[in-house]
Structure 1
Amino acid sequence: MRAQFIPARRFFPEHSHQWHQMVYAISGALTVISEGGSIVISPEQAVWLPTGLRHRVGSLLGSEFRSLWIADETGSTLAGASPMVFAVSPLLRALIVEATAIAGEPDDDGYVGRITQLILDQLRRAQPLPTALPWPCDDTLAQLCETLHADPADPRGPDEWAQCLGMSARTLAWRFVAETGMSLRSWRRRLRLFRAIELLGGGMDVTRTALELGYSSTSAFIYAFRLELGSSPQVFMRGRSDRVASDPVKPSQQDSDE
């Protein structure tokens, strides 16, 4: 397992492993590009990358993340042979935190092995999560998404964006659904949720976050957040802060291969 940091607008080179990998963000958002498509995951989501899958991992704004590497023969009974996004449960997170803290220690009493086994048990229970943010592979649409990621409050609608991109609104709508599986409107709504977690996690208050994301009022932002995540921004972030506080601080690593 490895704790790593990747700076803003940086990607690891495309590569594959002879082992399975689970990667998830402690803070910030990660972009994962593979043969199965391109997605962005928010903090507390993870991506399962099976053996041999060619992929790239990067971040638009920078991210602290964790990687678990699992031997091919062991991982074959876990999350499956296809890339998958799933939620990192509080228990799985706590186990990974403990595994990081005891990395390299001798396993005289079998404790390290028991922690490892519990992590594997949690991964066997992982279920696909439909709320990841798909990212288009088409360069033109990727430019659109990157602009909106940088400024979620951008007021331009589909007609204006279509004109900027040199296509009709109908063509833009069709191509966006074909690339991401969702409409531009739905994608922007999910993007705002992802950016909300990033901004709140960085210490921004709820009112300022609502304005940064382009909501007409704080109450509209709180309603949208509760609708998607089942709790208010304050309650969600309080629970997340409690979990992050339990993660021991270790030197981050930045490598050419994640």
Structure 2
Amino acid sequence: MVNALGIIPARYASTRLPGKPLVDLGGKSMIQRVVEQARQARLSRVVVATDDERILRHVHGFGGEAVLTSPDHPSGTDRVFDAYCQLDTPADCIINIQGDEPFIQPGQINALIDLFEQDPSTQLATLVKPVETAEELFSPHMPKVVVGNRGQALYFSRHPLPYQRQHPPEQWLGQHRYLRHIGLYAYRADILAEITRLPPSPLELAESLEQLRWLESGYQILTAETTVATLGIDTPEDVERALAYLRT
């Protein structure tokens, strides 16, 4: 049985939605909903990693666990590692659960844990989902991933890959099974320590996708497939969509 630790990075600052983790969604804050969803997965512990005392107090107030991390971390991965070091608790793998995904499904988290249970040598893991619409396929805000025959990620891009030379773009979706990346990550503890020491890479800077740094440095990222779409909260419009979802 893999000992999996869930850590939820939650920053207060947000250009488009300041104080995002504390936004009220139907009587509960967004961060509380993320914690409650994560607690239903096979995690030994669920901890919020935040840079803000207000979020820390709020999480403690609803009975959650939280630690205060540096405000200067360039990524959620760095914040997760900071929290993991503070917790000083052993774990076979650490799951980075996005703090703006209030409807994350426990089964999606468990799917990543399964990869580590099936093969303890797994270094990194993430989720993919079949692309169903042209909007998903061509949106630069929904990165795509090319996967090998053993489920290993070969490349991530904001552009649809592969390019289909024999077909016009409007026919691509019908000719190939494209996969979209879902930003839930799992790391083996020693690998998490290593990747946080890596400098930004050329591919990462070109695509603005952190996971390319890991691939470029020779790490392997395994993928698990989900059919469930996520609803990330980045803007006031996203909040309205989330509230509409809760009303259904």
Q: In which range does the TM-score fall when normalised by the shorter chain?
A: under 0.3
More helix by share: 1
When normalised by structure 1's length, the TM-score is 0.23
Larger Rg, first or second structure (1 or 2): 1
